[in-house]
Amino acid sequence: MRQSRRHFLTGLCGCGVLCGSGGLAWAGGGSLPSLLAPAYRPSDSDERGLWMQMEKAEQDLRNSNLRIHDPALNKYLTDLTCEIVGNYCPDVRVYVVRTPYFNASMAPNGMMQIWSGLLLRCRNEAQLAAVIGHEAGHFLRQHGLQQFRSIKSKTALMNVLALPLAVVGGSAAVQLGQLAMIATMFSYSREHEREADQFGLQLLEERGYQPSEASAIWRQLVAERDASFAARGKKTPSEPLIFATHPQSAERMETLAAAAAGITKPGRQYSAGPDRFAAVMKPHRGAFLEDQVKLNDFGGTLYLIDSLKDDGWPGELGYYRGEVYRRRGDPGDLQQAISHYRTALAFPDAPAVTHRSLGYALIKTGDKEAGRQALRQYLALTPDATDRAMVEFSLQ
Ligand SMILES: [Zn+2]
């Protein structure tokens, strides 16, 4: 899965006239780069072939087991994307993919993927808007097409693009691999990345979001990466894989922060975005955290859980904190897990499974009666538990 830790980005199209009609302007100063026209269609055979493959890939994505169908989440992301891209709204389609890595991508035909791991890591709507604006930048500036045209062996590329056709109905892992592979074919140059960042920042400012949130998300990712390596007793490599397709993360963070300061207008009110982000995420955060915990990234996951604690769901976070320790299983971890489960259960939002985890952990440490009591509590709270038979067996 290492390659899927990259922030895969695609984005191909082609036209070339300045299109200010979408309410999109350019903050980079100097001459304005051209944007593709709304409702753009491919203009030559190369591009038509590319779009055709992307449309087939999109069909696979539409039917993928990994797709999250929740109408509220999909509507929110589609509406937000439309607010950000303005007149280009009909050209972009958003798909939410359930996978715990930080990633978003935009295909040449306007197919946009947002991965659940990215949603889990956005601290507010402004950060999500920064990512969408960045992807929009790749799309509207036709970075993917430029990249495609610079690739010498187009035949090889087209063969790879054809691969998803063979895996309709394949396993989730295979599907994910295919989607990731398409995206990696278009790793962008630093120039393209900087341009997309600048573009995203401009959109952020225009829409009244706090521009500094664009650099904040990178600061968080760098801190998570450091925590992940520190927990494994390793020094952070100078440029880990997660950032392999992007400019040096620290440099990017600093460039974005400086650009945000430059773009911020004195006296204008900016915000981190409306509370609707937290409301839409609420029904999903447990599942997203569950996926994250299963990565067995001890330091990174604890960092992430800590970074979420200001959002006010101490019971749920406490349960997952316990799970992180339980899964690592180093000496003393089970006691730590028990302690976190107990802390979590003091809050009304602790999920019922906290009792189950606590019960099994207590039994394992020899406190059998307290463990059984916790398991009985779990069964009492979840009459429809799918693992009821197994838990009842443990109680005998
Ligand atoms: Zn990018």
**CATH number assigned to the domain comprising residue 323:** 1.25.40.10
List average pLDDT for each run of 10 residues in the chain, which is 396 residues long. 32 23 41 73 85 87 93 98 94 94 87 94 96 92 78 59 48 61 64 89 95 93 89 68 52 89 94 93 95 95 94 94 97 98 98 98 97 98 96 93
| 270 in any annotated domain | no
Q: How much distance in Å is there from the Cα of 5 to the middle of ligand 1?
A: 14
Q: How remote is the CA of residue 319 from the centroid of ligand 1, in Å?
A: 35
Residue 314: the pLDDT is 95
Same domain, 168 and 231: yes
Domain assignment present for residue 297? The answer is no
Alpha carbon of 308 to ligand 1 centroid (Å): 25
Residue 151 CA to ligand 1 centre (angstroms): 18
Is there a domain that residue 288 lies in? no
* Ligand 1 centroid to residue 103 C-alpha, Å: 10
For ligand 1, the distance from its centroid to the CA atom of residue 304, given in whole angstroms, is 23
User: 116 CA to middle of ligand 1, Å?
Assistant: 18
CA of 246 to the centre of ligand 1 (A): 7
For residue 251, how far is its CA from the centre of ligand 1 (angstroms)?
14
Q: How many domains does the chain have?
A: 2
Cα distance between residue 158 and residue 135, in whole Å: 23
Q: Kindly state whether residue 283 falls inside one of the protein's structural domains.
A: no
Give domain status of residue 322, yes or no: yes
Q: Which of 263, 285, 317 is the last residue of a domain?
A: 263
CA 320 to ligand 1 center in whole angstroms: 31
Pairing of strands 111-115, 104-106: antiparallel
In a domain, 290, yes or no: no
**187 C-alpha to ligand 1 centroid (Å):** 8
**Cα–Cα distance for residue pair 288/119, rounded to 1 Å:** 9
Indicate if 203 and 73 belong to the same structural domain.
yes
213 with 331, same domain: the answer is: no
| Ligand 1 center to 317 CA (angstroms) | 31
Displacement of CA 80 from its chain's centroid (Å) = 15
CB atoms within 10 A of CB 22: 17
pLDDT of residue 248: 63
- Residue 61 C-alpha to ligand 1 middle, in angstroms? 21
Please report whether residue 198 resides in a domain: yes
Tokens describing residue 229: 């390596």
Residues 144 and 252 reside in one and the same domain: yes
Give 9 Cα–ligand 1 centroid separation in angstroms.
6
Same domain, 236 and 306: no
State which residues form the domain around 372: 302-395
Q: Is residue 318 part of a domain?
A: yes
Indicate the residue among 216, 246, 263 that finishes a domain: 263
In a shared domain, residues 385 and 244:
no
Q: How far is the CA of 311 from the centre of ligand 1 (A)?
A: 28
Cα distance between residue 142 and residue 155, in whole Å: 20
Ligand 1 centroid – CA 49 distance (Å) = 23
Q: Based on the fold, state whether residues 109 and 44 are members of the same structural domain.
A: yes
308 and 240 within one domain: no
Query: Could you tell me if 22 and 124 lie in one domain?
Result: yes
> Do 168 and 231 share a structural domain?
yes
Decide which of 263, 289, 319 is a domain's last residue.
Answer: 263
The DSSP 8-state label assigned to residue 232 in this structure reads T
Q: Are residues 238 and 327 in the same domain?
A: no
Closest CA to 297 of 229, 195, 217: 229
CA–centroid distance, residue 190 to ligand 1 (Å): 9
| Cα 199 from Cα 25, distance rounded (Å) | 9
Q: Are residues 113 and 26 in the same domain?
A: yes
